[in-house]
Structure 1
């Protein structure tokens, strides 16, 4: 559900990150994409984005929540950070192939027709990468994606947990929609800030043509030439995507938890 709402923002973020040269505004870029390719082009790569969520997000939430069942109620922040990083990293690695296809499908509309990948859907993209580039290429950028996903796990899962715990210790918040919204908004800000440099590097690695960069360090040095802000390209659309995505995800998650999963957490006295 969150992906359906935020996919166009993710597409704009990818375009900004892969754009080299003169600075371009979000409004101008969005208008240009819609004018040249139509409104539905903002949903290019949706199948790959959904496929990624069904691997990456399912795994990280599954590992984190299962681990919490075996941890003490008052488990330390450090232990939860470790679990969230591991859960995010593992999920990120498994989700690398659909993420790679997602980046390529989103970026296709800005390329000349003869240079486009023209994947029909996620599975078509995965099969084409496997056939033309080999199995190993499906996991190109997997190291960066895994590390970035681990940091995102900490930024979202642990931050959300910690902010929610702090709020519930006060007399102003209950385990309700207001608390869930506030906690997820705080988690979104933290997650966007600490993951954006890694996201820029990951996007450029995945979108690179064979031989364009020698290694990840080469990508880092190339980005560094644009100055410190080069590592934060696409920050605004990234936050506009991660913010609603995080809020919608946790609100749906909490509703499902309260009605179909765990019982509501008791008020901390």
Structure 2
């Protein structure tokens, strides 16, 4: 969870630029930021749009998302893998066990992180007009209903599902071949 929080904070400026670049075409022409690329975006935000304060817009929900992502992926992978092996008689050493458990972990992580993703996107994009996150959340629930927290779930899962599968498959392969682990005494 600590590493997720640190990752969320360290990558915040990149998230701000990414979200703003993705949303730019939805804005009317006069409000578009027209960043040429990510480096240009960081430069323009720093130079013309409020500096470091703007680059760290949304850092709190981004850290929460990092914590939720890390915890939900790691914990649910282990829980699903254990369930598959102990209750459904999957072989703990087989790739299909690892891939199934990691796909399920990706489903859970996407769902757990969806509300934080939506909130951080709204805050970083500037659609919250510098309001506190809880006010943005309350206004959105009142106007759009609670389902707004799961907007973009499918595209998020199509990115996160395979990513989670690759992470845990790689970890299992590293463990299998004892990469980075002390040699066994024979």
What TM-score do you get using the length of structure 2 for normalisation? 0.83
* TM alignment of 1:1-269, pairs within 5 A: 85-132=1-48, 133-169=50-86, 171-208=89-126, 212-224=129-141, 225-255=143-173, 258=176, 261-262=179-180
* Cα shift at 1:146: 0.2
How far the C-alpha of 1:92 sits from its partner, in A, is 0.8
Give the deviation of 1:250 after TM superposition: 2.9
Does the CA-based 8 Å contact 1:148-1:198 persist in structure 2? yes
Unaligned runs of 5+ in 2: 182-186
What is the alpha-carbon distance in structure 2 between the residues aligned to residue 121 and residue 255 of structure 1? 36
User: In angstroms, what is the RMSD of aligned CA positions?
Assistant: 2.3
Structure 1 residue runs of 4+, over 6 Å off?
none
Distance 1:252 1:117, change over 3 A: farther
Distance 1:121 1:254, change over 3 A: farther
In 1, the alpha carbon distance for the partners of 2:178 and 2:44 equals 40
